[in-house]
């Protein structure tokens, strides 16, 4: 069986028009926030390797991929440079 993340990816990519979180949530029978979280993960994963580091360093909030999900580091945080991004 297709996992939820792949199911959501397939729904978005196969949609002939823009699709909102609520519509996706109904199709997969999940709460809208669960779907929103997964769509955010898909978005950040899609950005990985596509956004040059010099652009990421200009972001006010930097997404950082962990083994579990993403964490977000404010740019002014001294740990931001140590943590990296994606």
pLDDT one-digit tens code per residue, 45-66: 888 888 887 887 788 888 888 8
Instruction: Give the model's pLDDT for residue 77.
Output: 67
Domains of the chain, residue spans: 1-47, 50-86
Q: What is the pLDDT of residue 79?
A: 59
The alpha helices in 16-78, defined as continuous H runs, are 21-28, 32-47, 53-56
Task: List the chain residues with pLDDT less than 70.
Answer: 1, 77-86
User: To which residue do tokens 């010099």 refer?
Assistant: 54
Phi–psi pair at 61, nearest 5 degrees: -125, 120
pTM metric for this prediction = 0.75
């Amino acid at each position: 069986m297709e996992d939820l993340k792949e199911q959501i990816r397939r729904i978005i990519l196969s949609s002939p028009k823009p699709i909102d979180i609520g519509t996706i949530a109904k199709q997969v029978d999940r709460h809208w926030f669960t779907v929103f979280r997964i769509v955010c993960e898909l978005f950040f994963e899609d950005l990985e390797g596509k956004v040059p580091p010099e652009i990421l360093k200009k972001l006010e909030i930097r997404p950082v991929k962990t083994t579990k999900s993403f964490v977000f580091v404010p740019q002014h945080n001294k740990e931001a440079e140590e943590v990296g991004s994606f």
